[in-house]
Amino acid sequence: MTTREPGRPRTDRSPWNWLLVVPIVLPLLTFLFNSDEPRLLGFPLFYWLQIAFIAVGVTCTTIVYRMTK
């Protein structure tokens, strides 16, 4: 739970929030991943890179959560 500092209005503003923009924008840039090669374990780039973006999303939201708790 957040502890309340007297006299200072609460806010959810933080420079860390900008990190959330990364996993929002990255998966929408089709030119990054719309290709068959290079393949990874038989997966075309299109599939393995987008699956890898899940990890980017988890990392960014976890960092923002920890730093703004």
Partner 1 sequence: MNAHTTELVVFAVLFLAVSVMGFVAARWRRPENIESLHEWGLGGRSFGSWITWFLVGGDLYTAYTFVAVPALVFGAGALGFYALPYTVVVYPLVFLVLARMWSVSHVHGFVTPADFVRARFGSPTLALIIAITGLVATMPYIALQLVGIEAVLKAMGITGHLPIVIAFAILAAYTYQSGLRAPALIAFVKDALIYIVIIAAVVYIPAKLGGWGHIFDSAAAKFAKTPAPADGILLTGANQLQYVSLAFGSALALFLYPHSLTGVLASKNRNVIKRNMSALPAYSLVLGLIALLGFMAIAAGTKPIVGPGGKADSNTIVPVLFDQLFPDWFAGVAYAAIGIGALVPAAIMSIAAANLFTRNIYREYINRDATDAQEAKVSKLVSLVVKVGAVLCILLLDPQFSIDLQLIGGVIILQTLPSVALGLYTRWFHKGGLMAGWAAGLAAGLWMLYLTPNPANGKLHFGGSAFALKNLGLDTPMTIYTGFLALIVNLVVAVLGTLLFRALKVRDGEDATSRDDYFADEGDPRVKDLDLAGSH
Residues engaged in binding partner 1 (CB under 8 A): 1-2, 9-12, 17, 20-24, 27-28, 30, 34-36, 39, 41-44, 46-47, 50-51, 53-54, 56-58, 60-62, 64-65, 69
Number of other CB atoms surrounding residue 60 within 10 Å:
19
d(CA 33, CA 50): 7
Shortest spacing between CB 32 and partner 1, in angstroms: 11
Closer residue to partner 1 (CB): 6 or 12: 12
d(CA 19, CA 49): 19
